Structure 1
Amino acid sequence: MTTFQDFGLSPALAKSLERMEYTTPTPIQKQAIPLALEGHDIMGSAQTGTGKTAAFAIPLVEKLLADPRGSALVLTPTRELGKQVMDIMHQLLGPKSAIKTAFIIGGEPMFKQLRQLRNRPRLIVGTPGRVNDHLERGNLMLDDAHFLVLDETDRMLDMGFTVQLEKIFKYMPEQRQTLMFSATLPKNILKMSDNYMNNPKRIAAGEVNVIAKNIKQEMIRIEQGSKYKELLAQLHEREGSVIVFVKTKHGADRMATNLRKDGFTADALHGDLRQSKRDKVMRNFRSQNFRVLIATDIAARGLDVPHIEHVVNYDLPQVAEDFIHRMGRTARAGAEGSAISFVASQDGRKWLAIERLLNPDAVTDFSDERREKSVKGRKGRGPQKGRGGSDRFKKQGRKDFKGGRSRDDRQGEGRKEFKGGRSRDERQGEGRKEFKGGRSRDDRQGEGRKEFKGGRSRDDRPGEGRKDFKGGRSRDDRQGEGRKEFKGGRSRDAKRSGMPASKKGKFQQKRSGAPKSSQPRKRAS
């Protein structure tokens, strides 16, 4: 297949491709489009910027044009990528197409999306979270959706959309055609393809986990506090549009502000911006109204801006696979590009993970070489094992010398801790004796503990009751007399017996909780 006309597409779609100046298919399009038109499930891997969006969009539109029944669903990880996919779909459908569409993403009002869904769209593009919301509310029906596309699948799984995707699959017919595209193919994607795809055809354009050859890469070792000054120097040296990747949303806003103060036209793109603001930022960047875009990984995933010439990894990505996606923002469609990575002292593990992903053989060779150098450096000191271990001790056992004998020689003898010339083993069974007054605890066993008060033990005093002396009398002697709280020398009982009758009646009412008299009190005249 050397041209799009060789695919035997409908006249309306062929006219749209001609209007879009699509003449020669890319390698991934040559492989994917014929298989998709035949109805096969596809699992494709390709570097970003190779035209994989058109690789699934062209057969999708052809299916909708050929069959007046049925619908199609396209899921993307981010709003920006979804917007790009929807723009391409509209161009392929043509300006006067009768096929209605719906764009279902988070961050936009629900009523606007409800209005689109009431028109019974046949093409739906959206993000998994919002699509799942509409399904659960009953706003969206996918009973006739026989065509499913998962774009940037690896990123959707990284973002935690696995549960939402599995819920969406349950709303769709089992007999459907599924196209899954991803820049990388980790194990979780292969597992998903086994569960939800029907004998998928594997296609690939170029190598997986490889940076495009037309990108000039550079790595700069630098301390964290010196990164911004180095960024300013790099921006002064280079020309053209630049995208700078940072790890936090707050960091993106702060850097955009600082760059504007330093004379550069810059703006930030991250997930906390309203959708209208994100659209405005991307519209201005595509129109080259500003030069430097500061972005986070999630917001910039899948961005297709042809005039980006430089990528700056100000902060290394948390996931090594994201490094490949960042590189794909430049050198698109065969153009030249460059990439700079700032690597601080605390970024050693992240950078090693990136190197291992891009070139695992080289990292292994380097590790082996470093291990050989380490062994050679110890030459002359004798073979060693671990931290100062030695082969001459092998199978001999470690000897901790006490009195000339090793631990192994003393094995089985029992540990002897000498007290008065006798070991612990020799004293075994004798019972521990803790001497008090010349007698051991064992000698005193059964005698009862004696805590002397006035010469008599507690055991000598059983049954007497505890006496807490107050005024010479014990608590037991006073049992039943009633508690006496002395006020003015009289007890509570003595005061109660001598109380006047009127006061005593009130006292008894108060004690018994009897209600007060219901007669109204006489009002003073």
Structure 2
Amino acid sequence: MQSFKTLGLPAPLLSSLEQVKFVTPTPIQAQAIPLALAGKDIMGSAQTGTGKTLAFVLPALTHLLKNPLSAALILVPTRELAQQVMQAVHQIQQYLPRNTGARTALLIGGAAYATQFRSLNARPRLIVGTPGRVMDHIERGSLQAAGIDLLVLDETDRMLDIGFGIQIEEIMKYLAKKRQTLMFSATFPAPMMRLAEKYLYHPERVSIGQTSTPVSLLTQDVKQLGESEKYTYLVSELAKREGSIIVFVSTKIGADQLAKQLFQQEGHQAIALHGDLKQYQREKVTNNFRKGRYRILVATDVAARGLDIPHIQHVINYDLPQVAEDYIHRIGRTARAGAKGFALCLVTPSDRRKWHAIQMLLNPRAATSAHAHAAPSSRRPMNKAGKPGHKPSHAPGGHKSEFKADRKPGSKPTAHWFSGKPSGSSSSGKPTGGDRSRGDGAAGRQRRRAKPAGARRASHA
């Protein structure tokens, strides 16, 4: 059986891993860590809950231990994920010998600038943050990042989805020209492949299993029903199921309304989590759910990534996600670390296109076959006069339903010590050419005006 001792990690980190009872690396760790320690750029993909975080945290800490003048930056899409990555860093660093661990800084939106300024003035060598706030500090001059020679992009596809492509590319202009980049994601859509081709140097591909296939311990069910039936059916399912539940919806207003309805009318301990909550509110909601004070979390996709709570037993997709890949990340909140989990998907006739996209992601052959045998278009036939004829009588809208009841989708159907200027910069130290979009706050307006090609949709979280 392979152990961390065979991966080439330094002795202080091996000692820390023993202290936290980490003995055997997961497959993604066993494959990615040796390549990262060899200085290779990496494109890594693995299902959620497979230990991906340590696959880049351990190489980053090793890099900093061996190179006292180096610094590392880890970019993630959400505040919650940034906090969890930082927790993983602290979990390992707490057992390192005195003065060997790297100072850290957490740079996320919604948190006080004063605290972040103090962290940056303490000269951290490991920075974890969201692209918007990191870019904001670079523009303010509180983070001069030319000394950062290790970059980690985690959940890269999600960052591109929510419009961080501009910020990521701008940040890269300020980093050391000669650097190592570790890119991790659950899926590899075309925009991400273009980003990798542009910025990674002969990357090594590391892929554990089929990341578009749900884990084997996950039991999935799908229910086709009318829009007016969804709430009643949800209530009946909540009564049947035991343990913690996440109910995913598509909008912030919908999350608030559904959580309130379940709490006030049905007596469930339910609470909402979405992007309109302030940072301290989001932390409070997450902590209360983690401690079991609430059994039901009604969430937008802001929680689909970065929410790592082992006791989540059920995920219910009350609304389907706008992007098919988000379905994988939603149901990945359960069946983690070897535990069993259950996922339920509620599908209405208006969800037909979204559901087909999800099926194409999960099982392209089966979905294509089903689509080929689907009923003809709902377009009304033309009569001899060239005018629309009568609709066929077999279904509303002129076409048969292509749904099959209860089909299972998983069953195959200032950091002043940093010096220098960004690559491609002018004598003023500012990058030449391109829009310099801001981070959080004013950044939102800039991102809305100039969405990168990789952003398929605006965030609903």
TM-score (norm 2): 0.79
Aligned to 2:153: 150
**Contact 1:267–1:293 at 8 Å: present in 2 too?**
yes
Query: Aligned in 2, Cα 1:50/1:389: closer, same or farther, shift over 3 Å?
Result: farther
Identify the match of residue 301 of structure 1 among 294, 302, 305: 305
2:188 equivalent to 1:185: yes
Quote the residue 1:115 is aligned against.
118
Higher RCO (C-alpha under 8 Å, 6+ residues apart): 2
Aligned-pair Cα RMSD in Å: 1.8
**Deviation string, structure 1 residues 208-237 (Cα, Å, up to 9, x no partner):** 311112111111112222212111111111
Residue in 1 that maps onto 2:169: 166
The aligned residue for residue 435 of structure 1 is: none
Provide Cα deviations, 1:425-461, integer angstroms capped at 9, x if missing partner.
xxxxxxxxxxxxxxxxxxxxxxxxxxxxxxxxxxxxx
1:251 equivalenced with 2:254 (yes/no): yes
Flag the 1:387–1:257 CA change in 2: closer, same or farther, 3 A: closer
Relative to the length of structure 1, the TM-score reads 0.70
1:156, 1:162 within 8 Å by CA — same for their partners in 2? yes
**Which is further off, 39-48 or 14-23?**
14-23
**Which structure 2 residue ranges, 5 or more long, are not aligned?**
386-461
The aligned residue for residue 236 of structure 1 is: 239
Aligned pair partner of 2:280 in 276, 282, 292: 276
Mapping of residues 424-435 of structure 1, within 5 Å? none
- C-alpha deviation, 1:8, in angstroms: 3.3
Give the corresponding residue for 2:327: 323
The answer as to whether partners of 1:61 and 1:92 remain within 8 angstroms in 2 is no
Residues 109-134 of structure 1, C-alpha deviation per residue, up to 9 Å, x if partnerless? 11111111111100000000000001
For residue 511 of structure 1, what is the aligned residue in structure 2? Answer: none
Larger Rg: 1
Q: Alignment length, in residue pairs?
A: 378
The equivalent residue for 1:43 is: 43
Are residues 388 and 49 of structure 1, via their aligned partners in 2, closer, same or farther at CA, if it must alter by over 3 Å?
Answer: same
Alpha-carbon contact 1:271-1:299 (below 8 Å) kept: no
* Helix, strand or coil at the partner of 1:247: coil
Shift of 1:389: 10
* SS in structure 1 at match of 2:18: helix
Q: Deviations over 1:133-187 (max 9, x none)?
A: 0101111011111110000000000000111001000000121010000000011
Matched, 1:59 2:59: yes
Identity within the alignment, %: 53
Q: In structure 1, what is the equivalent of residue 89 of structure 2? A: 89
Between the aligned partners of 2:8 and 2:193, the Cα distance in structure 1 is 32
Write the distance in 2 (CA, Å) between the matches of 1:102 and 1:370: 54
1:462 counterpart residue number? none
Take 2:187 and 2:232, find their aligned partners in 1: how far apart are those partners? 34
Distance 2:273 2:82 in 1: 16
Mean Cα displacement is larger for which, 333-342 or 150-159? 333-342
Residue 69 in 1 paired to residue 69 in 2?
Answer: yes
Q: In structure 2, what is the Cα distance between the partners aligned to 1:43 and 1:389?
A: 56
1:312 aligns with 2:316: yes
Q: Which amino acid aligns with 1:42?
A: I
- CA distance in 2 between partners of 1:45 and 1:175 (Å): 24
In structure 1, distance between residues paired with 2:350 and 2:383: 31
Which of the residues 124, 127, 136 maps onto 2:127? 124
Equivalent position SS for 1:332:
coil
Which consecutive unaligned segments of at least 5 residues does structure 1 have? 375-385, 391-397, 399-525
Number of the residue aligned with 1:506: none
Q: Secondary structure at the match of 1:34?
A: helix
